[in-house]
């Protein structure tokens, strides 16, 4: 039996499969798009109201180029209104690639005998984090295969190790997790390590497609995975990230699956996901994937814009699986986070040279492997504020508290000043002279803009000067 979000507030109906494929396909097949309806739906989103499945399906079914451009322009405007012009930066750090699952599209799958298995020792982990701090990174997401060695206790241990690494003025202030589903006690163990977001992708929200791709291991169980972040919520982790892996199934269905997942969280826990990710499957070691559902660049841009409008208050992550040129284009449609300086091979950040990717040593291919400094330089050229802010998480502005700030559109009041302060740290501690010059100009331009919105700019300027004098980790 499928439990709809409206019924989910009854406690014994939490942690049940809420995906109904027939419902999703009914919206796709029986919803029409016209200019007046698209315009009204975009206006609703710009009023910071989440869209229904039916309204999202209208945008999905808009095929007229004029309507698609209208959708993209709406996403641009929404990003500006809610998130300002900041882009949050982070780095993925793979801890180990042992795995008991047999997912056809993944280089880590247990049947891939060409994959070189490795788990970082504590010493290697410390060295890796030191090198990441040397580049200016402040936010990491730790990634693990699904294996008995990567227990909740082990994950918590590695989080403790990472938080304990301080090199020079460097430190990691937020550790997010991408790992296998846990039971409630396991999530409690990981929460105690003071993690940030716990991220689990459903990969595909279609049960039949899911069965096709997942041939062995715990991951075969669709229901266990679809309810995984419910168990996280029950364990007190109210900051979770969802995602679909595009190119596995029809992108239209997956977009509605992500919106349905959002509905479920709101109805059951009164909070939406903190982030949504939408990576496209790229090449991997001994990849087993046909091209039936390959998403074109054009459709990818469209689906990102639709997701932005569908869930106005949710952070959206664009990964380095996409090439630099496309990332530059897609960011304008509402993306709030990207990874930078990304290396996926286990231990690669500890190397002095960035060697050519070896797919037998990593999960999949990335297509934007530029150093963090280069990416920051480009963001500044585009007028973005590169941000390493972690203030909300450490001040308890997560879960329902985060919704109180984000849904009405108050994020900009906190995030823009905090982004400026973390950018100041980066410019003082890590940037080249040319990047510093660009950065100070971007900061000044944004301070002038904040003055127009009656922000406390003198206090921001005072904190900038304190950072220049040696203080760190100042935030609102």
Please indicate, yes or no, whether residues 303 and 381 belong to a single structural domain of this protein.
Answer: yes
Residue 207 lies in a domain: yes
My answer on whether 280 and 176 are in the same domain is yes
Per the domain annotation, does 45 fall within a domain? no
Q: 198-199 and 240-243: which strand pairing?
A: parallel
Q: Which of 83-97, 354-368, 449-463 has the lowest mean pLDDT?
A: 354-368
Ramachandran quadrant class, 473 (left: phi over 0; alpha: psi -120 to 50; beta: rest)? left
In this predicted structure, the answer to whether residue 141 has a pLDDT above a threshold of 60 is: yes
Q: Please, which pLDDT band fits residue 6 given cuts at 50, 70 and 90?
A: very low
Residue-level pLDDT at 330 = 96
pLDDT band of residue 2 (cuts 50, 70, 90) is very low
Span 444-469, average pLDDT: 92
Q: How many domains does the chain have?
A: 2
Question: What one-character-per-residue DSSP string does 335-375 give?
Answer: --EEE-S---STTGGG-SS-PPP-GGGSSS--S----HHHH
pLDDT tens across 72-83, in order? 999 999 998 888
Burial classification of residue 264, based on how many CB atoms lie within 10 Å of its CB (0-12 exposed, 13-18 middle, 19 or more buried): buried
What residue has token string 């994020």?
411
For residue 301, tell me if it sits in a domain: yes
CA of residue 177 relative to chain centroid, distance: 11
> pLDDT tens digit string along 235-265?
999 899 999 999 999 999 999 999 999 999 9
pLDDT band at residue 360 using 50, 70 and 90 as cut-offs: confident
pLDDT of residue 452: 84
Q: Provide the mean pLDDT of the chain.
A: 92
If asked whether residues 358 and 277 sit together in one domain, one would say yes
- Percent of the chain with pLDDT strictly greater than 70: 93
Q: Is residue 171 part of a domain?
A: yes
The 3-state DSSP class for residue 177 equals strand
Read off the pLDDT of residues 370-398 as tens digits, 9 standing for 90 and up. 999 999 999 999 999 999 999 877 777 76
Q: What whole-number distance in Å separates Cα of residue 369 and Cα of residue 250?
A: 28
Residue 372 lies in a domain: yes
Percent above pLDDT 90 for the chain: 80
Region 46-59: what's the mean pLDDT?
95
pTM of the model: 0.94
- DSSP per-residue codes, 231-283: HHHHTT---EEEEB-BTSS-HHHHHHHHHHHHHHHHHHHS---SEEE-PBP--
Residues 229, 182 share a domain: yes
pLDDT (average), residues 416-440: 97
CB atoms within 10 A of CB 217: 18
Q: At what angle do helices 411-429 and 433-452 cross, to 10 degrees?
A: 160
pLDDT at residue 428 in the model? 98
* 179 Cα distance to chain centroid: 14
The arithmetic mean of pLDDT across residues 173-201, rounded, is 97
395, 417, 450 — which closes off a domain?
395
Residues 381 and 423 in one domain: no
* pLDDT surpassing 60 at residue 11: no
6-10, 180-184, 302-306, 450-454: least confidently modelled range: 6-10
How, if at all, do strands 166-167 and 170-171 pair?
antiparallel
The pLDDT of 65-69, averaged and rounded, is 98
Q: Are 340 and 89 in contact (CB under 8 A)?
A: yes
C-alpha to C-alpha distance for 97 and 107, rounded to whole angstroms: 9
As a whole number of Å, the CA-based R_g of the chain is 21
pLDDT at site 400:
59
Please state at what angle helix 251-269 crosses helix 297-310, rounded to 10 degrees.
20
Give the DSSP H or E segment for 159. helix 152-163
- The predicted-structure confidence for 343-353, as pLDDT tens digits, reads as follows 999 999 987 55
409 and 391 both lie in a single domain: no
| 306 and 59 Cβ atoms separated by less than 8 Å | yes
Token digits for 180? Answer: 């296998």
- Is position 476 within any domain? no
Reported as type and span, the H/E element at residue 385 is strand 385-387
Question: What pLDDT is recorded for position 3?
Answer: 42
Note whether 337 and 302 are same-domain residues: yes
Coil vs helix vs strand at 68 = helix
The confidence band for 453, taking pLDDT boundaries of 50, 70 and 90, is confident
CATH number, domain with residue 305: 3.20.20.70
- Residue 409 and residue 278 share a domain: no
| Statement to judge: residues 97 and 223 lie in one domain | yes
Answer yes or no: is 473 within a domain: no
Q: How open is the CA angle 111-317-104, to the nearest 5 degrees?
A: 15
Range of the domain at 412: 405-468
Which residues 6+ apart lie within 8 Å of 405 measured at CB?
Answer: 392, 397, 411, 414
Q: Are 62 and 73 in contact (CB under 8 A)?
A: no
Q: Assign 3-state DSSP to the chain and report helix, strand, coil percentages, each to 5.
A: 50, 10, 40
Of 395, 421, 440, the residue at which a domain comes to its end is 395
pLDDT at 409: 53
- The C-alpha angle with vertex 154 and arms to 152 and 159, in degrees rounded to 5, equals 95
Per-residue model confidence (pLDDT) at position 397: 72
125 and 252 share a domain? yes
pLDDT band at 193 (very low <50, low <70, confident <90, very high): very high
Task: Report the distance separating Cα 120 and Cα 123, nearest Å.
Answer: 8
- For residue 358, the model assigns a pLDDT of 86
Same domain as 168, residue 138: yes
- One domain for residues 182 and 158: yes
The residue out of 353, 371, 395 marking a domain boundary is 395
| 201 contacts 219 by C-beta, under 8 angstroms | no
The band of 1, judged by pLDDT with boundaries at 50, 70 and 90, is: very low
Contact 380, 386 (CB under 8 A): yes
Q: Is residue 50 part of a domain?
A: no
């Amino acid at each position: 039996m499928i439990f709809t979000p409206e019924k989910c507030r009854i406690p014994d109906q939490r942690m049940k499969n809420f995906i109904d494929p027939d419902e999703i396909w009914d919206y796709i097949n029986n919803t029409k798009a016209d200019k007046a309806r698209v315009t009204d739906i975009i206006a609703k989103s710009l009023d910071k109201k989440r869209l229904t499945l039916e309204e999202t399906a209208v945008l999905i079914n808009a095929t007229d180029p004029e309507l698609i451009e209208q959708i993209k322009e709406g996403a641009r405007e929404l990003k500006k209104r809610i998130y300002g012009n900041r882009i949050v930066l982070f780095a993925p750090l793979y801890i180990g690639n042992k795995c008991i699952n047999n997912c056809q599209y993944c280089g880590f799958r247990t049947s891939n005998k060409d994959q070189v298995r490795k788990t970082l020792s504590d010493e290697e982990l410390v060295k890796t984090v030191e090198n990441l701090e040397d580049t200016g990174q402040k936010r990491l997401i730790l990634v693990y295969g699904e294996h008995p060695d990567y227990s909740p206790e082990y994950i918590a241990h590695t989080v403790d190790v990472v938080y304990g690494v301080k090199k020079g003025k460097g430190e990691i202030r937020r550790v997010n997790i991408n790992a296998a589903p846990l039971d409630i006690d396991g999530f409690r163990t990981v929460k105690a390590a003071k993690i940030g977001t716990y991220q689990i992708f459903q990969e595909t929200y279609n049960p039949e497609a899911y069965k096709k791709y997942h041939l062995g291991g715990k991951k075969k169980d669709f229901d266990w995975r679809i309810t995984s972040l419910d168990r996280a919520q029950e364990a007190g982790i109210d900051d979770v990230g969802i995602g679909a892996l595009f190119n596995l199934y029809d992108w239209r269905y997956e977009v509605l699956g992500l919106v349905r997942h959002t509905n479920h969280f709101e109805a059951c826990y009164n909070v939406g996901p903190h982030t949504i990710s939408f990576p496209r499957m790229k090449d991997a070691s001994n990849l087993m994937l046909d091209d039936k559902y390959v998403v074109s660049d054009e459709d990818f841009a469209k689906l990102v814009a639709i997701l932005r409008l569908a869930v106005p208050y949710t952070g959206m992550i664009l990964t380095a699986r996409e090439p630099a040129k496309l990332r530059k284009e897609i960011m304008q449609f509402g993306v709030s986070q990207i990874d930078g300086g990304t290396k996926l091979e286990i231990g690669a950040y500890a190397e002095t040279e960035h060697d050519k990717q070896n797919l037998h040593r990593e999960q999949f291919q990335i297509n934007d492997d530029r150093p963090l400094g280069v990416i920051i330089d480009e963001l500044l050229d585009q007028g973005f504020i590169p941000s390493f802010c972690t203030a909300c998480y450490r001040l308890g502005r997560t879960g329902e508290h985060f919704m109180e700030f984000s849904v009405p559109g108050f994020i900009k009041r906190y995030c823009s000043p905090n982004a400026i302060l973390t950018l100041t740290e980066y410019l003082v501690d890590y940037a080249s002279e040319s990047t510093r010059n660009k950065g100070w100009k971007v900061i000044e331009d944004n301070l002038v803009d904040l003055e127009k919105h009656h922000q406390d700019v003198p206090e921001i300027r005072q904190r900038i000067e304190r950072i220049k004098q040696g203080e760190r980790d100042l935030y609102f």
